[in-house]
Chain A
């Protein structure tokens, strides 16, 4: 793709609509700082890549928010857009992108609205971006080797791998700290360390630690171990639970103290999950009630009995049956509907009754399970013994927990009762179904249920830990009995927490998979970048050498550090000795190196774009380096369109010297105002001036002045070209002459006839008259069009042939 013309309006530094002809393979744009050069670069960047490097590389991205792309002085109704006339495969394509809001843009190809520019068949990947921004040619060398690694991979087109890797790292960190996983993790690792302390359960400890974790193997090992310990042949954990319960009680009877401990009945798993189960049941009940149709008993009975009675009756006046078959059908449908409603209602009533019973059942079991009195009994017994100080504190905390749990449960009970009553009244048809009200009711109930479950779980864990510590201090038990008891307790806890173990095991397996993938990506990145770097290094070396010919210090290679770390080193060689450019290169050499790196990939290795935009590449380069760059660009522009920006007047002067006699466009951005930059076309080929003159010849007074001005410049070029090409005069001589002198020389050398020179003078009068300063007369479009035709005719007659 080549660029032919760009129009910018309301974008960044451009307020008023401005058009720049870009139809040349070499375009130089000179402008002081803040004159709007970068806005032009950003317009091209935004058009194709939707973002601008300045924001992408910024350390304070958040400050680039809202409408920062829109010109500050634009009124609300003024448009922000960039339009580009381009050439793709020899065909002209007009692209337009309109900014509506930071999130909304409109894309047009040749006037038709499209979703994006993907149909152009060009890669919009960063690696081929044909734009080198100021920030990019500045910071590559003097940056952290880690960041340089990332940046190099982006240059090589491996940016997507880094993005993927960081996304995985973020996921890994996020998952490691997830709340839901956290509580299960505590239990899991608690059990793991307890198992490690019991040598006879070493194989269970191994199974819980194994990665990848297999919950099947673990469960199998657990069942095997319990069977082996108690000489059983049970197959399920349920059966084993019962045995363990019996074993626990048997051991408890061996000591009075111990019996007391066992009275701290630990609420079992089924009880803990009750609140959410009950809530779920009521939720289902509500949804059934909401879907049911009202059952109207009286209507139903009336229809049932009435239908048969009047079915055969005929009207005494018209002698026709009063109930037609159609009406009977309708009555039957009504009867059927009511019958279904009746069945559903009775179902609902049964379910309501069942739920009520489950609620009662839960509360009676729970009040038995967590009785405050048994806790107090234990406390009384150990109160006077200093050995139990720790346990007394624990008991007091548990007491507080029970009191607060009882309060939560009481609230839960009320909620359940209110909901059940609501369900009852709804099903009876006493109140209308109000979806909002019922869902609010359910939401409140769910919250309390969740809270109850959490408190129940933590109470169970605390009671278990209290039980274990009391157990270790019971003096009336032998060591063996204590060990037996410990084993029973840990077995019971593992069975209670099998779900947590399974969850954590699988969760960690997945975390391992993620970190495994990160490692694989890193390996892949290293091999891939090493391969691509070989080629890139050669290109950088070559480019750098062209920028610094005859110098004994040269770039040698970019190379990843060995080992696992991801860092990119730059190596150079100076008089045969290896050196580090970061610490030894001058600013100018660093600038050259940064430019070499980006240029080598995006320009010399770019099959997608036929143009390149260089935004102020000669930041700290000295004059010689600048000249060398111009020479390189002189080669590049033969196969690629080059748009070069610079604020450096010396560099631009060197450019015009070195490009002397060649075709290029030279714009100057000057006198920046709130309307945007003032753009002057300082130097262009004859054709470009004529295109611009023609473009504005039909416009308003101001535009016609632009047309006249460019027509005059075209005449100047015509005279130069005639003298150089046909008159064989040197460039330098011709450029020093004024237009009058040139025309005189043309006359004396008879390069044009007197009549032709007369025609030129006539057109010049039109051009001068169109000028604003001093106010000229109003030149018509026709006068301009005629002038353009005359000059074009002369050019093609005298020069093209």
Chain B
């Protein structure tokens, strides 16, 4: 099974949307993307509240 298909299947089984976002950022940016995603989510929530 191709890696991408496997990650897509993982994303489908996840119920939490934030989890899906991490899968997405892993697919697009691998390790580097995760740290950036984390900071982006914190920033977004900080500016929201």
B2 touches A123 (CB 8 A): yes
CB of A521 within 8 A of CB of B46, answer no
CB neighbours of A161 from chain B (8 A): 6, 10
Cβ–Cβ contact A520 & B30, under 8 A: no
B1-17, CB under 8 A of A: which get 1 and which 0? 11100110010011010
A160, B3: Cβ atoms closer than 8 Å:
yes
- With A157-B1, A170-B31 already in contact, the answer to whether A513 and B16 are too (CB < 8 A) is yes
CA of A125 to CA of B2 in the docked complex: distance in angstroms? 7
9-residue interface stretch from A35-43, A502-510, A641-649: A502-510
CB <8 Å contact, B7 and A164 = yes
Tell me the nearest residue of chain A to B30, going by C-beta. A167
Question: Judging by beta carbons under 8 Å apart, are B42 and A510 in contact?
Answer: yes
- What is the bound-complex CA distance between A506 and B2, given in angstroms? 35
Question: What's the minimum C-beta distance from A306 to chain B, rounded to whole angstroms?
Answer: 55
CB distance from B35 to the nearest CB of A (A): 6
Say yes or no: A502 contacts B13, CB within 8 Å. no
Say yes or no: A514 contacts B10, CB within 8 Å. no
What are the residues of chain B within 8 A of A174 when measuring CB–CB?
Answer: 35
Check if A175 is an interface residue, CB within 8 A of chain B. yes
- Closest chain-A Cβ to B14's Cβ sits at a distance in Å of 6
Could you tell me the distance in whole angstroms from the C-beta of A506 to the nearest C-beta in chain B? 5
Give every chain A residue within 8 A of B31 (Cβ-Cβ).
167, 170-171
A159, A502, A509, A513 — most chain B CB neighbours (10 Å): A513
Q: In the complex the two chains form, is A520's CB within 8 Å of B1's CB?
A: no
Q: A506-B45, A510-B38 are in contact. Are A517 and B19 (CB under 8 A)?
A: yes
Q: Which residues of A contact B46 (CB under 8 A)?
A: 502-503, 506
Query: For the complex, is A215 an interface residue (Cβ under 8 Å from B)?
Result: yes
- Contact across chains for A160 and B16 when beta carbons are under 8 A apart: no
Measured as residues with beta carbon below 8 angstroms from the partner, the interface class of chain B is: 20 to 34
A121 → B minimal CB distance (Å): 12
Assess A516 versus B10: contact at CB under 8 Å? Given A123-B2, A167-B26, A171-B38.
no
Bound complex: CA A166 to CA B1 (Å): 20
Determine how close the nearest CB of chain B comes to the CB of A507; give it in whole angstroms.
6
Which A residues are in CB contact (< 8 Å) with B1? 127, 157
Q: Which residues of A contact B26 (CB under 8 A)?
A: 164, 167
Q: Name A492-524 residues within 8 Å CB distance of B.
A: 502-503, 506-507, 509-510, 513-514, 516-517, 520-521, 524
Q: Which residue of B lies closest to A156 (CB)?
A: B1
Is there contact, CB below 8 Å, between B22 and A513? yes
Complex CA distance for A528 and B9, rounded to whole angstroms: 10
Report Cα–Cα, A647/B34, bound state, in Å: 46
A168 touches B (CB below 8 Å): yes
* A513-B19 in contact given A171-B34, A506-B45 (Cβ < 8 Å): yes
Establish whether residues A157 and B6, one from each chain, have CB atoms under 8 Å apart when the complex forms. Answer: yes
Q: Could you say which residues of chain B place their CB within 8 Å of the CB of A327?
A: none
Instruction: Specify which chain B residues have a CB less than 8 angstroms from the CB of A104 in the assembled complex.
Output: none
The reply to whether A520 and B19 form a contact with Cβ atoms under 8 Å apart is yes
Most buried by A among B6, B22, B35: B22
Indicate if the CB atoms of A506 and B42 lie closer than 8 Å: yes
Contact partners of B18 in chain A: CB under 8 A: 510, 513, 517
**A158 within 8 Å of B (CB atoms):** yes
B49–A516 CB distance below 8 A: no
Interface of B is mostly: helix
CB-defined interface of A604-618 with B at 8 Å, one 1/0 digit per residue?
A: 000000000000000
Q: Is A216 an interface residue (CB 8 A)?
A: yes
Encoded as 1 (CB less than 8 Å from any B CB) or 0, chain A from 155 to 183 comes to: 00111110010011011001100000000
B5–chain A nearest beta-carbon distance, Å? 10
Q: How far is the CA of A127 from the CA of B1 in the complex (A)?
A: 9
B16 touches A516 (CB 8 A): yes
Contact partners of B14 in chain A: CB under 8 A: 517, 520
CB distance from A767 to the nearest CB of B (A): 52
B49 (CB) vs chain A CBs: closest residue: A215
Known A-B contacts A160-B3, A516-B16; A524 and B10 likewise in contact (beta carbons under 8 Å): yes
Q: How far does the Cβ of A764 sit from chain B's closest Cβ, in whole Å?
A: 55
Decide if A516 touches B19 in the complex (CB within 8 Å): yes
B2 touches A514 (CB 8 A): no
Partner of B6, one of A158, A215, A509, A513: A158
Give the nearest-CB partner of B38 in chain A. Answer: A510
B1 to chain A, nearest CB (A): 5
Distance in angstroms between the alpha carbons of A582 and B35 in the assembled complex: 40
Task: Kindly identify which residue among A215, A514, A524 contacts B38, using a CB–CB cutoff of 8 Å.
Answer: A514
Chain B residues contacting A503 (CB-CB under 8 Å) are: 42, 46
Which chain B residues border A520 with CB–CB below 8 Å?
A: 10, 13-14, 16, 19
Residue of B at shortest CB range from A168?
A: B34
Chain B positions within 8 Å of A516 at CB level: 16, 19
- Distance (whole angstroms) from the CB of A529 to the closest CB of chain B: 11
Name the distance in Å between B11's Cβ and chain A's nearest Cβ.
10
Beta-carbon contacts under 8 Å, A115-163 to B: 123, 125, 127, 157-161
Given the contacts A125-B3, A161-B6, A520-B19, A171 and B35 also touching, CB distance less than 8 Å: yes
Known: A167-B30, A171-B34, A520-B14. A160 touches B42 (CB 8 A): no
Select from chain B the residue with minimum beta-carbon distance to A521.
Answer: B10
Using Cβ atoms and an 8 Å threshold, which residues of chain A touch B6? 157-158, 160-161, 528
- Looking at the assembled complex, report how far the CB atom of A501 sits from the nearest CB atom of chain B, in whole angstroms: 11
Q: How far is the CA of A161 from the CA of B31 in the complex (A)?
A: 13
A123 contacts which chain B residues (CB < 8 A)? 2
Most buried by A among B3, B18, B30, B35: B3
With the chains together, A521 CA to B14 CA distance in Å?
Answer: 9
Residues in A neighbouring B19, C-beta threshold 8 A: 513, 516-517, 520
How long is the Cα–Cα vector from A170 to B32 in the complex, in angstroms?
11
Determine how close the nearest CB of chain A comes to the CB of B34; give it in whole angstroms.
5
Q: How far is the CB of B27 from chain A (nearest CB, A)?
A: 9
In the assembled complex, which residues on chain B have CB atoms less than 8 Å from the CB atom of A521? Answer: 10
Indicate if the CB atoms of A507 and B35 lie closer than 8 Å: no
Docked complex Cα distance between A502 and B46 (Å): 7
Complex formed: what's the CA distance from A506 to B16 in Å?
A: 16
Chain B residue, CB-CB nearest to A126: B3
Residues of A within 8 A of B13 (CB): 520, 524
Q: Give the shortest distance, in Å, between A534 (CB) and chain B (any CB).
A: 15
List the A side residues contacting B30 at CB < 8 Å: 167
A718, B10: Cα distance in complex, Å: 59
Contact of B34 among A159, A167, A506 (CB under 8 A): A167
List CB contacts (< 8 Å) of A538-567 with chain B.
none
Do residues A175 and B38 form an inter-chain contact, with CB atoms below 8 A?
yes
- Give CA–CA (A634, B40) in the complex, Å: 57
In the complex, how many angstroms separate the beta carbon of B42 from the nearest chain A beta carbon? 5
Which residue from B7, B22, B34, B35 sits with its C-beta under 8 Å from A160? Answer: B7
Interface string of A405-445 (1 = CB under 8 A from B): 00000000000000000000000000000000000000000
* Cβ contacts under 8 Å, B49 to chain A: 215-216, 502, 506
Bound-complex Cα distance A528 to B7 (A): 12
Q: A506 to chain B: which residues have CB within 8 Å?
A: 42, 45-46, 49
Assembled-state Cα–Cα distance A158/B10 (Å): 11
| Whole-angstrom CA separation of A595 from B38 in the bound complex | 42
A and B contact pairs by CB, cutoff 8 A, 13 listed: A125-B3, A158-B6, A161-B6, A167-B31, A168-B22, A170-B31, A171-B31, A502-B46, A503-B42, A513-B16, A517-B16, A517-B22, A521-B10
Interchain residue pairs A-B with the least CB separation, the first 5: A160-B3, A167-B31, A517-B19, A513-B18, A506-B45
User: Which residues of B are interface residues toward A (Cβ below 8 A)?
Assistant: 1-3, 6-7, 10, 13-14, 16, 18-19, 22-23, 26, 30-31, 34-35, 38, 41-42, 45-46, 49
Given contacts A510-B38, A513-B18, 12 further A-B contacts (CB under 8 A): A125-B3, A127-B1, A157-B1, A160-B6, A167-B30, A167-B31, A167-B34, A168-B22, A168-B34, A506-B45, A516-B16, A517-B19
